[in-house]
Structure 1
Amino acid sequence: MKNESIVFSKNLSKNIELIKSKLHQSPELSVRTIELVSKRKCALVYLDGIVNTELIREGIINPLFSIRVIDEDFIDTLMSQQIRSESVLEVTSLSDSIDAIVRGKTLILVEGFNSGILVDTAQWEKRPIEQSTRQMNMKGPLIAFSEQLQMNLNVLHNFIQSPNLMVEKKRIGLSSKTDVAIVYLADRVDQKALTDTLGRIDSLDVDYALESRIIDCVLEGNQKTIFPLTFTTELPDETASALYEGRIAVLVNGTPSASIVPCLFVQFFQQPSDYYVKSGNEMRILTFISFFLTTLIPGSFLAIANFHKDWVPNHFHKTFFIQTETLVPVWFEVFLMIFLLQILSYGSFKISKGSIILLSLISTITIGSTAVDAKLVHPMSLIIVGVTFLANTMLTVGNISFTIYHLRYAFLFIGSLFGFTGIGIAFILMIIHLSYLRSVGVPYFAPFIPFNAKEMKDVFIRGNLRKLINSKHTYPHDDKE
């Protein structure tokens, strides 16, 4: 028999045994039995370790001992006059009770009544609001999201103090339910995107959801691409800005970030710091230039070395491409250096802070001047790869960095095998691919394709802040998925 079909009976012992059975006789399950007037028994059921015992004592146990009369309306009287809590709910279903108990609520059952009372007594360990270690603002707020959903919603309410801020909560998972919040501004949100977002989340059928990636997968749909179709951020101010632009933010309990849709490709070039300085145009343009540098420089370097010798003076070509005296070909030098630096960047996030100095020392010996002196790497290859990774540091917003790694390798091999002709064709194919992508029904490459001149005011340069704030964003829609 499924939990949904099981309701409580008037037998207190039977109800307690049902709960113990569904919780697999968990040693954390606590059952506190209290004898009320007329020897009527009452039981408090909760999971030890996730509840506030002082709140249970002051808000539930003490009021129960003050009861003098038990009548047929005792449950209603208990809820309205006795229990001292801001969250009180009557329950008759076993499944609802089990879900509430594992979420830190206390269940009150009384002998002779086939319904119980749920009281919110949860006490979760929380990480205080801190500065993000993965996304940094040059200016502006320093706080970042934490793993607690309610705390993140509290921060957003502080940033957007408006009655139009709407929060729809859902619970995802069959065996273990996870709270998910869909946040938007009712007067600004793109209604078609909102309908699509809610429909996709409702269609999610998984056993559990420990983090937001499963939500991102269902929001992205079945499109085959290396480009992220949801925008991920740890910064509340960036999330608030997206909500003002008519987007939707999805927050998952346990994940210190928000997933924002619809996601546009140009969004990854709009740094939060652009809007906190007097003129953010230099930084915006530098970010676009850095994208092309970090993806195209290695491939362009190999294209010149293999196919376009006449583009550089002869003495430069001999020095950098012919008389290198290195053990491996130029293309393998560049590939190896990029590969090693990628390992270094990944490893710096995975190892302990105490090992960072050791990692830096080893990487300096391995990749630096020692490799050049040993004739393993040409100095020009080292410079090209160094510039590539320096440019990559400008693209830190969202989750575009993993896409850049794939693009860099693709253009590296295309430039090595087919020269600039191949790079040009591959770049055009990438643009065509971007134009076919959709983020919850919105063209990913907008406002370029389809072109919208009004939305270009915040693309290559940051427009006037007052005009940007007072203008409403619009998103094109079509039937392509």
Structure 2
Amino acid sequence: MAGEIPVLTEDLQTNTQTLQNMIGTNPDVVLRRLIIRDVAKEATMIYIEGLVDKREIHEQILMPLMKPGANNTEGNIENKQVKQWLITEAIPVSTVQPVQRVEECMQAIFAGNTVLLVQGIAEAFVIGTSNWETRPVEEPITEALIRGPREGFVESIRKNTAIIRRKIKDPNLVFLPYKVGRRSQKDLYVVYIKEIANQALVDEVKSRIERIDIDAVEESGYVEQLIEENYLSPFPQTQNTERPDRVVQALLEGRVAILLDGTPFVLLAPVTFPMLMSSPEDYYERWIPGSLIRLLRYIAVFLSLFLPALYISFISYNHGMIPTKLAISISASREGVPFPSIVEAFIMEVTVEILREAGIRLPKPVGQAIGIVGALVIGQAAVEAGIVSPITVIVVSLTAISSFSFPQYSAAIAIRIARFGMMIAASFLGLFGVILLSIFLIAHLVKLKSFGVSYLAPFAPIYLHDWKDGLIRLPFFTLRKRTRITKPKDSTRR
């Protein structure tokens, strides 16, 4: 049949040629021919240079196989015993797995393993020799804390699973392996604690992962977009994090983690808006400071979302809601400004967003200078040129500073998008437009689901028990029960 992938045979030359044709004549692909002395058989070893530990190949594979008598065999071994002898005695490597399909050989080679083909055996031996350069464990850049662990996930999925294993010493911790991507497969693990996580939630996550059909998955953001329920919503429906402590907290609450090889960002499901507003640091500090910081975060969200829109409403439509002295002061500061308030606000907001984006993309020392100095210089120049009023600069600056208080960058982006919608609504209908759009936004969040969980839980629907860890965090002795949002099997914290 045309296009059918050939199978392995007992002929070494045929097997070698088949793999060579499929992998191509690339300079980093190594084909090493050898004679296994103790059984007098020809063999071929195939691996990709740069993905393997060459020292291990030399000391643990080539030397034992090529040196006569290295394995203390007594005479020639019969052909039917060669396979078992290679696995149990000849190759002193922890992982030696026989495979029968050519596709499995190709996947193993691209994963950094070594494939050994032997004359007379219609199977290949996949030997675990992968060892490529990885970034050391460092503090996460996107989720910095004052108090807490200084370690973050890296691009190696094996290191990430080891970090989680070290923090959760529970035999019920489960890692379900998957391969995602058709042309370039990557390892993906669905992680949960069997005695805590609701099985219906686990099955739903597994079902969505199994439906992924794409050439390659470059980053966990691909997975996030392919498993979300509402692709039209700007709000993230899974939580991404680089922090192992956040993942551990989520697993102990009955949530599910998704790890992908090649990225330090782990996905957590389900997620609610209050979860996005919490930080691991809320639990490392005592409950009173932790609660106040969390409340401050909610105030910052309100300012980031509504402050420019309220300014436009009061200036353009609802003048009577401004105190007289403040109204006179604002009117004096706006004297000579040629643009209406909506244009002023848009000019400054777009400028701040451009500076924010430029600061992220530029080298770190230059980016910080651009973000701080650029905003000061442009804001001052705009005021002196009479393009915007000083009060507009104050409003936009306070809004920008408030937006940096979000623990989750993806949630901050959603609020920034909604902020522009609020500004447009305020420019047309004033305070009534802001209220109307707020109602639509709340209705959208109430309707929005993350793996069957309401996005505004525990506030809508109401779970009074979970309010202990909602807007504020009560002392630990009051949090004896796990959150009811995820419907965990074991509801009691031990």
Give TM class, smaller chain: over 0.9
Structure 2: which amino acid aligns with 1:274? D
SS at match of 2:236: coil
What's the secondary structure of 1:166's corresponding residue? Answer: strand
Q: Distance in 2 between matches of 1:274 and 1:361?
A: 28
Distance verdict in 2 for CA 1:168–1:104, change over 3 Å: same
**Counterpart in the other structure of 1:70:** 77
1:158-197 Cα deviation digits (max 9, x unpaired): 1111111111111101111011111111111122211110
The answer for unaligned runs of 5 or more in structure 2 is 488-494
Q: Which residue of 2 aligns with 1:53?
A: 54
Name the SS for the 1:51 alignment partner. coil
Aligned counterparts, 1:84-103, within 5 A: 84-103=92-111
1:424-473 CA deviation, whole Å, 9 max, x = no partner? 111111111111111112222211221111121110110222332x3122
Distance of 2:372 and 2:246 partners within structure 1:
36
Amino acid corresponding to residue 161 of structure 1 in structure 2: K
- State the 1:222 CA deviation: 4.1
What amino acid does structure 2 have at the position aligned with 1:460? L
Q: TM-score, normalised by structure 2?
A: 0.92
The whole-number CA distance in structure 1 between the counterparts of 2:138 and 2:192 is 24
1:379-418 pair list within 5 angstroms? 379-397=390-408, 399-418=410-429
- Are 2:224 and 1:213 equivalent residues in the alignment? no
Given that 1:181 and 1:251 are in contact with CA atoms closer than 8 Å, whether structure 2 keeps it comes out as yes
Q: How far has the Cα of 1:63 moved from its partner?
A: 1.5
User: Among residues 313, 337, 350, which one is paired with 2:323 in the alignment?
Assistant: 313
Aligned to 1:253: 261
- Pick from 281, 285, 291 the counterpart of residue 281 of structure 1: 291
Cα separation, 2, equivalents of 1:2 and 1:449: 57
Matched, 1:241 2:242: no
Q: Does 1:157 align with 2:165?
A: yes
User: Within the alignment, does 1:434 sit opposite 2:442 as a pair?
Assistant: no
> 2:218 is matched by which residue type in structure 1?
L
8 A contact 1:50–1:122 mirrored in 2: yes
In structure 1, C-alpha distance between the alignment counterparts of 2:326 and 2:125, rounded to whole Å: 82
Checking the alignment, whether the CA contact within 8 Å between 1:31 and 1:44 is kept in structure 2 is yes
Specify the code of the residue in structure 2 equivalent to 1:162: D
CA 1:243 to 1:39, structure 2 compared with 1: closer, same or farther past 3 Å? closer
Unaligned runs of 5+ in 1: none
Distance apart, 1:403 and its partner CA: 0.1
SS at match of 1:400: helix
1:70 positional shift: 3.1
The count of corresponding residues between Structure 1 and Structure 2 is 476
1:229-257 per-residue CA deviation (whole Å, 9 max, x = no partner) reads 11111111011101111100111111111
Q: Distance in 2 between matches of 1:389 and 1:376?
A: 19
Closer, same or farther: CA 272–324 of 1 in aligned 2, 3 Å: farther
Question: Would you say the 8 A contact 1:181–1:252 is kept in 2?
Answer: yes
Q: How is 1:296-445 mapped onto 2 (pairs within 5 angstroms)?
A: 296-321=306-331, 323-356=334-367, 359-360=370-371, 363-364=374-375, 366-397=377-408, 399-445=410-456
Query: Within 1, Cα distance between the matches of 2:202 and 2:272?
Result: 15
Specify which of 436, 456, 462 is matched with residue 467 of structure 2: 456
The whole-number CA distance in structure 2 between the counterparts of 1:365 and 1:395 is 22
Tell me if the contact between 1:196 and 1:441 (Cα under 8 Å) persists in the aligned partners. no
Deviations 1:122-178 (A, max 9, x none): 111110000111111121101111111111111111111111111111110111101
RMSD over aligned Cα, in angstroms? 1.8
Which residue does 1:13 correspond to in 2?
13
Check 1:62–1:45 CA distance in 2 against 1; reply closer, same or farther (3 A cut): same
Write out aligned runs for 1:105-184 (5 A). Answer: 105-184=113-192
2:297 maps to amino acid = T
Most deviating of 92-101 and 58-67? 58-67
Given residue 41 of structure 1, which amino acid in structure 2 is its aligned partner? E
The AA in structure 2 aligned to 1:413 is I
Q: 469, 474, 478: which one pairs with 2:484? A: 474
Which secondary structure state, in structure 2, belongs to the residue aligned with residue 368 of structure 1?
helix
Distance 1:428 1:167 in 2: 41
Aligned-residue sequence identity (percent) comes to: 27
- Does the aligned pair in 2 maintain the 1:149–1:253 contact within 8 Å? yes
| Larger mean Cα displacement after TM superposition, 83-92 or 369-378 | 369-378
Write the letter of the residue equivalent to 1:376.
Answer: I
For 2:409 and 2:200, locate their aligned partners in 1 and report how far apart those are by CA, in whole Å: 23
Kept in 1: contact 2:352–2:375 (CA 8 A): no
TM-score (norm 1): 0.95
